[in-house]
Amino acid sequence: MQYPAHGANVASLYEGLQIPMPSTIIDLSENTNSLGTPIELQTMWPELLKKVMTYPHEQAEPFKSQVAAFHGIKPKHIAVCNGASEGLMAIAQFLRGQTVALLEPSFSEYQRTLLQHGCSIVSIPTTNIETYLFSDEQLHQDLQQAKVLYICNPNNPTGVVQSKQWIESLVQAYPGKYFIIDEAFMDWTDETNSVISLVTSYPNLLVLRSMTKMFAMAGVRLGYIVSQLAQSIGAFFPHWNVSGIAIALGCKCLDLTQFVAHSRKQSNALRIEMQSFFRRLNCRVTNSEVNFFTFCLPPTYDADHFFMSLLQQGIVLRHTKNYEVLCGEWFRIAVKDVHSWKICKEAIEKYVQND
């Protein structure tokens, strides 16, 4: 059976597993904002058509400068990329041939891009999936072998947030190593634990951000890197790597603070309800603070059978077959709308009762 490497590839998932695809699908495998693209972006399209015929600014201005102002940092410390995926590829090129430590489980694209550029991987498994904690002794031991440490914060797939103080303590302890902090989902939190403000103090710190999750515009492709190394990383980007349309939409997104606050509030309330439901079923549930979390059924249930049963009903969870530590026994579930959750909840309750 063939599982796709990412969520949101619903047709590919059904095709790979050779399961007839129902006419109605509830896709809980992808984790963009369930509120959809903000109305302020939707109404921009007539204006955006003017940008189709012209080349965009090579440095993605004015988005680059506006991002710098938004975070209170210098524009020279920003490199705008065609989605976080391009940023990860450029970082891997910059790190070519290095030994890199990954906190596991984490986003599968780290390993894929690093291996493409000749890096060696040291996996550091969590000691507790629900809290995403790590043994300090093991961490420091493994870091002796590595030149780089990747930290996904908030973590994908668990949704757990590491403290800013913990990350800074590591950056301080190892000034000769690079620290890559992926904050693709940090805007789903109150930003307290973002380390962007530390960039000006630590030349070995690099932060990756995405604009596509909160604002439900994954098809646009827009992200940015914050680091004193931004210009060195940006040298790996092609000319005009970010479209004029993406630049204009990104600028507008930076103004949508009320939309962000509303999205967080709505998502948090439903996530807490969902987590409580799974805990009542005696599932193990991660302490997520974002718009998704992972859960594991009690050991009496067969994870693959459960996954397939929901798929046959058109309910798609994110498998964890390609995540270290989780090994397919856990599932990531996105926080969507109340109606979708009601259908999913009823299907899970029926499965548990009949199994």
SS3 110: helix
Residue range(s) occupied by CATH 3.40.640.10 in the chain: 39-255
Cα distance between residue 161 and residue 289, in whole Å: 7
Confidence of residue 8 (pLDDT cuts 50, 70, 90): low
pLDDT at 355 over 80: no
SS3 343: helix
User: CB under 8 Å, gap of 24 or more: what pairs does 63-66 form?
Assistant: 63/222, 63/242, 63/246, 63/247, 63/250, 63/251, 64/224, 66/250, 66/251, 66/254
Calculate the alpha carbon distances from 33 to 41, 208, 301, 320 in Å: 14, 19, 31, 21
Name the more confident of 339 and 354.
339
For 68, residues 6+ apart whose C-beta sits below 8 A from its C-beta are: 74, 75, 77, 78
- Type of residue found at 343: I
Confidence of residue 81 (pLDDT cuts 50, 70, 90): very high
pLDDT digits (tens, 9 = 90+) for 178-194: 999 999 999 999 999 99
Cα distance between residue 150 and residue 143, in whole Å: 11
Give yes or no for a contact between 95 and 178, defined as CB atoms under 8 angstroms apart.
yes
SS3 163: coil
* Beta strands, E only, the chain: 26-27, 78-81, 99-104, 120-125, 148-152, 178-182, 205-210, 223-227, 284-285, 292-296, 315-316, 330-334
Cα distance between residue 30 and residue 299, in whole Å: 26
Calculate the alpha carbon distances from 107 to 111, 252, 264 in Å: 8, 28, 22
pLDDT at 5 over 80: no
Specify which residues 332 forms β-bridges with: 294, 318
Q: State mean pLDDT over 295-307.
A: 94
pLDDT at 342 over 70: yes
Query: What single-letter DSSP state applies at residue 180?
Result: E
Calculate the alpha carbon distances from 305 to 3, 53, 230, 328 in Å: 15, 51, 46, 12
Confidence of residue 63 (pLDDT cuts 50, 70, 90): very high
Is pTM beyond 0.85 here?
Answer: yes
Of 3.40.50.150, 3.40.640.10, 3.90.1150.10, 3.40.710.10, the CATH number of 39-255 is 3.40.640.10
Specify which residues 355 forms β-bridges with: none
SS3 178: strand
For 163, residues 6+ apart whose C-beta sits below 8 A from its C-beta are: 193
CATH 3.40.50.920 holds for 10-30+258-354: no
Cα distance between residue 82 and residue 108, in whole Å: 18
pLDDT digits (tens, 9 = 90+) for 242-262: 999 999 999 999 999 999 999
Query: What single-letter DSSP state applies at residue 229?
Result: T
pLDDT digits (tens, 9 = 90+) for 88-140: 999 999 999 999 999 999 998 999 999 999 999 999 999 999 999 999 999 99
